[in-house]
Amino acid sequence: MTSARPHRTPKSMFWNSSKDVVQTADAVEGSFVYRQAPKAWRPYLKLARLDRPVGAWLLLWPCWWSLMLAADDGFALTHVYLLALFAIGALAMRGAGCTYNDIVDRDFDGAVERTKSRPIPAGEVSLKGAWVFLIFQCFIGLAVLLQLGEFAIMVGLGSLVMVAIYPFMKRITGWPQAWLGLTFNWGALMGWATLKGELSAAPLVLYFGALFWTLGYDTIYAHQDKEDDALIGVKSTALTLGEKTKPALVIFYSLFIIGLVGAGILAKLGFFYYIGIAFAGLHLAAQVRRTNTDDAAICLEVFRSNIAFGWIVFIALILGQLVQ
């Protein structure tokens, strides 16, 4: 196994001001992080992945879906407030999770072409600075969690062990994306728990269905790094599935659509919800058709298209609640 590049420690305690901030390989073109943000903030905004916002959306969508699944008393200002709270929480906790992941994986990231420009291996943020930033983001997430009610707080705390373990899964299993699915879709329980003060079959079906959504989109994403991952000994479903990726995507996404339909039936959603889910299914089918596992640019485009997919499901849920 090729040895990973050693971590470079910046000269300053928190940020190496002598270095220019390098744009991350798969950052959104024209991101405000590199254009409008103060230069001293840029390494930390990169660390929180604010130059690559798709991950925050993927963390947020299960939260918003779960809220709408539970909103059987109609859409109200309370729901708008909770949607905003979950958006803040998703930004903070996605940033915290990425910061923690980069701390743990700093040597692996330095050995992978796509990730060597991340702030820690690039020497833009020190290890100590990353830990301080991680704690800061966790406090924001905690402040949001404390607004959600006692039962939702208990449910939210249940995800912490899964978050802490996730970065190590790629070292021990060829299916780390399955663990990511269990972790990243915890919001499918949180929205319902916040509004209802309990959990029932509908959010649980949504949660386990969304696990297969993450298995699909993150397998596509992992194909960007499969050659480097194989060299340094990191495992992924991209390597595990290989040429069987497309048939596997069909299975994963089919199970997810079944989960969405099942959650809607259990929540007694109206007919228009299922029309929306049909469009969502077509979107996922287009993802499978477009995926080229040997083309990193296409994989990234398909991965990012899940932002639009999330809107389809979200609107379907609203229609399903309003028109019953």
Higher per-residue pLDDT: 26 or 99 = 99
Any domain includes 247? yes
AA letter at 207: Y
**Where is average pLDDT lowest: 159-173, 189-203, 261-275?**
159-173
Any domain includes 176? yes
What per-residue confidence (pLDDT) applies to 123? 87
Instruction: Identify the band that residue 70 occupies on the pLDDT scale cut at 50, 70 and 90.
Output: very high
What per-residue confidence (pLDDT) applies to 5? 37
Q: What pLDDT digit, counting tens, does each position of 79-96 carry? A: 899 999 999 999 999 999
Any domain includes 221? yes
What per-residue confidence (pLDDT) applies to 321? 92
Any domain includes 164? yes
Give, to the nearest 10 degrees, the angle between helix 271-290 and helix 296-304: 170
Give the HSE-up count for residue 302: Cα atoms under 13 Å, Cβ half-sphere.
29
Which of helix, strand or coil describes residue 29? Answer: coil
Any domain includes 307? yes
| Range picked from 9-13, 59-63, 227-231 for highest mean pLDDT | 59-63
What per-residue confidence (pLDDT) applies to 171? 87
Which of helix, strand or coil describes residue 37? Answer: coil
Q: What range defines the domain where residue 250 resides?
A: 38-322
Instruction: Identify the band that residue 20 occupies on the pLDDT scale cut at 50, 70 and 90.
Output: low
> For the purposes of burial, counting CB atoms within 10 Å of the CB of 74, is it exposed (0-12), middle (13-18) or buried (19 or more)?
exposed
Any domain includes 13? no
Any domain includes 184? yes
- Check whether 1 has a pLDDT greater than 50: no
Q: What pLDDT digit, counting tens, does each position of 197-221 carry? A: 999 999 999 999 999 999 999 999 9
Q: How far apart are CA 10 and CA 121, in angstroms?
A: 10
pTM across the whole model: 0.88
Q: What is the mean pLDDT of residues 69-75?
A: 82
What per-residue confidence (pLDDT) applies to 4? 39
Any domain includes 173? yes
**Where is average pLDDT lowest: 30-34, 86-90, 198-202, 293-297?**
30-34
Q: How far apart are CA 270 and CA 74, in angstroms?
A: 12
- Contact predicate 263/199, CB 8 Å: no
Residue 153 has phi, psi (to 5 degrees) of -60, -45
> For the purposes of burial, counting CB atoms within 10 Å of the CB of 289, is it exposed (0-12), middle (13-18) or buried (19 or more)?
exposed
Tokens of 249: 């995507």
Q: How far apart are CA 270 and CA 19, in angstroms?
A: 56
Instruction: Identify the band that residue 75 occupies on the pLDDT scale cut at 50, 70 and 90.
Output: low
Q: How far apart are CA 188 and CA 176, in angstroms?
A: 20
- Check whether 310 has a pLDDT greater than 90: yes
CATH number at residue 198: 1.10.357.140
Q: What's the mean per-residue pLDDT of the chain? A: 88
Q: How far apart are CA 249 and CA 189, in angstroms?
A: 24
Instruction: Identify the band that residue 15 occupies on the pLDDT scale cut at 50, 70 and 90.
Output: very low
Tokens of 149: 């009610």
What per-residue confidence (pLDDT) applies to 82? 95
What per-residue confidence (pLDDT) applies to 17? 41
What per-residue confidence (pLDDT) applies to 142? 95
- Contact predicate 206/260, CB 8 Å: yes
Helix (H) or strand (E) holding 135: helix 127-145
Total domains in the fold of the chain: 1
